[in-house]
Structure 1
Amino acid sequence: MGLLTHGNIILLGFIVWVCIAPKINSPQYGESFLAYMVALLFSLTASTELMMVKPVAFFFTVGGVLAFCYIVARRTIRITFRK
């Protein structure tokens, strides 16, 4: 049950959770982001119970966790160039 054997599932989970993520320019970004976090939390809780039976669900959620970290980093870290 290694990361390399289930890498494609992690990548698929990352892509799906990034597509589900709320858009930054949305007027209700706070509420949408809270709903996104709660959905990921419930997905994590459910996938830990299914881990022994279906490890695919766990690795899909690992991709979701990576997507969450990406969304938070994208929102908080700003890179600007000055001339």
Structure 2
Amino acid sequence: MTENNKTRIFLSYAHEDLEMVRQIYTGLKARNLGVWFDKEDLGPRLWKRKIEKAIPKSQYLVICISEAALKKTGDEPGFQDEGFL
């Protein structure tokens, strides 16, 4: 299966949950799925633009909900509150 034909999955998570999400990423990659994971695909420059492009190219969006993720809404908005998702 070529990279262009792979199912694309975008992982969205709170950075406090990095280790758990890294395990999810590893499991999905082991199943030969195309996964967009910021720690592997982002890089240091133009990160917001790369995220904006990666989301519509993905067939699936996996949102990892946790206590840390829920705390990033409201008074202390996180990246997810900027209208990308």
Task: Point out the structure with the larger helix share.
Answer: 1
Please classify the TM superposition score into its range, dividing by the shorter chain length: 0.3 to 0.5
**Which has the greater radius of gyration?**
1
Provide the TM-score with structure 1 as the length reference: 0.36
